[in-house]
Structure 1
Amino acid sequence: MAGLAQIATREVMDIRQASDYLGISGDTLYRYASEGFIPAFKLGNRWRFRKSLLDSWMDEKSGVKTPATPITVVPKQKKPVARAR
């Protein structure tokens, strides 16, 4: 089980690590990457996958809505009180 924890923390994964992470076969992942269906890049002649991009891709494909920018709530400012004379 130590290998599974290591996969979850790696930002850049190879085909085997990414296919384990996604729960699909390496052959399927290779086909997806070759067709441009899944976010991937080649380092030399080998496919690499960024975990953050895979997570975003899965969110998009599953219909999960994530805000493009974080929502910041600014507290309402009080008016200054006039000083007593």
Structure 2
Amino acid sequence: MSHPMSDEILTLPEVAQLLKVAEKTVYSMAQRGQLPAFKVGGQWRFKRVDLDAWIEEQKAAGRDDKQRGDV
């Protein structure tokens, strides 16, 4: 498998596979603005670098919750 380019654009099914969730979940999160996404011709697209940053933010938020005792 080749190394992805840093400006790689992912489709909704690819993001669902990456995050290990249902496509419907990714769609709902994109609709609500919970995932960094944009539309091309009416279809959701995701920049890999934006998703990587979002994942890091979620991990940091999880650590913050644990430190506050919210979990």
Asked if Structure 1 and Structure 2 have the same fold, meaning a TM-score greater than 0.5 normalized by the shorter chain, the answer is yes
Runs of 4+ displaced beyond 2 Å = none
Structure number with the higher helix fraction is 2
Name the structure 1 match of 2:67. none
- Percentage of pairs with the same residue: 31
Secondary structure of the equivalent of 1:9? coil
Name the structure 2 match of 1:31. 28
Name the structure 2 match of 1:48. 45
Q: 1:61 aligns with which of 58, 61, 64?
A: 58
* TM-score scaled by length of structure 2: 0.75
Q: 1:16 aligns with which of 13, 16, 36?
A: 13
Secondary structure of the equivalent of 2:39? strand
Aligned residues: 59
Q: Deviations over 1:29-81 (max 9, x none)?
A: 000000000100000100001110000001011108xxxxxxxxxxxxxxxxx
* TM-score scaled by length of structure 1: 0.63
The alignment yields a C-alpha RMSD, in angstroms, of 1.9
Structure 1: runs of 5 or more not aligned: 65-85
